[in-house]
Amino acid sequence: MHVLYGGTFDPVHHGHLRLAIELCDRLAVDQVHLVPCHVPPHRGATGASASQRLELLALAVQGEAHLAIDDRELRRGGASFTADTLRQLRSELGPDVPLAMVVGTDAFAGFDRWRDWQAIPELAHVVVVQRPGPALDPEGAPARLLAERRVSVADALHRSPAGLCLELAPPLLDISATGIRERIADGRSPRYLMPDPVWQAIRRQGLYGACTDGNF
Ligand code: ATP
């Protein structure tokens, strides 16, 4: 099964990386593909450019065989719509290979506002990872989609190419990229929230308002 985990990764942090490893275990796959978006369609400007975010991501997964980067959204440019990405991948993988995309409940709550969202479950399985925050509106389209297509074991995803939803509630680290950006801009250390090579590159390049001559 081919598993995609998309995000802004602005910047990548241990919360993302830990979840990706957890996904390898729980979905029984050897690799998870991290897909940085070029321009996130549902939020404002990013703190770092697409190429800077990609460089940080590459530093984060260096030497980690279970994590791969898929930079197709950056190469495609423009707003990054998941349906386009899945269509592209589906045509590369062929109709029979199981394909799954991972999304947090925070993002899934607005799933029915994603461009061409109804095509998504036809192209891939949807793995919904529970994140802290409000529960899904039980009357809303995302909750209905989940209820209609829910399976309770990851094995089921390996047996069909697309169309199923699996909810997972792995332990999550309480780290957010927003918190990291604020911390850096305030001159406070974000060390141990992200791999050290990522922080050192941020610092060297003065990203997110980092002070290049700071001593941490
Ligand atoms: P921001 O604070 O800028 O919104 P973020 O830290 O939430 O960023 P994103 O790049 O927006 O990171 O998230 C990509 C994906 O990773 C989303 O599906 C999100 O739900 C998930 N995610 C973010 N932080 C964590 C975390 N600490 N643990 C597990 N998943 C996370």
Contact status, residue 3 vs residue 27, Cβ threshold 8 Å: yes
Q: Which CATH architecture has domain 2-170?
A: 3-Layer(aba) Sandwich (3.40)
- Measured from the CB, is residue 80 less than 6 Å from ligand 1? no
- Measured from the CB, is residue 16 less than 6 Å from ligand 1? yes
Q: Residue 28 is which amino acid? A: A
> How far away, in angstroms, is 164 Cα from ligand 1 center?
23
pLDDT in tens, 53-99: 999 999 999 999 999 999 999 999 888 999 999 999 999 999 999 99
pLDDT in tens, 32-49: 999 999 986 666 678 999
pLDDT at 40 (0 to 100) = 65
- Whole-structure pTM value: 0.94
Taking the CA of residue 14 as reference, the ligand 1 atom at the shortest distance is 27
pLDDT in tens, 95-125: 999 999 999 999 999 999 999 999 999 999 9
> How far away, in angstroms, is 177 Cα from ligand 1 center?
7
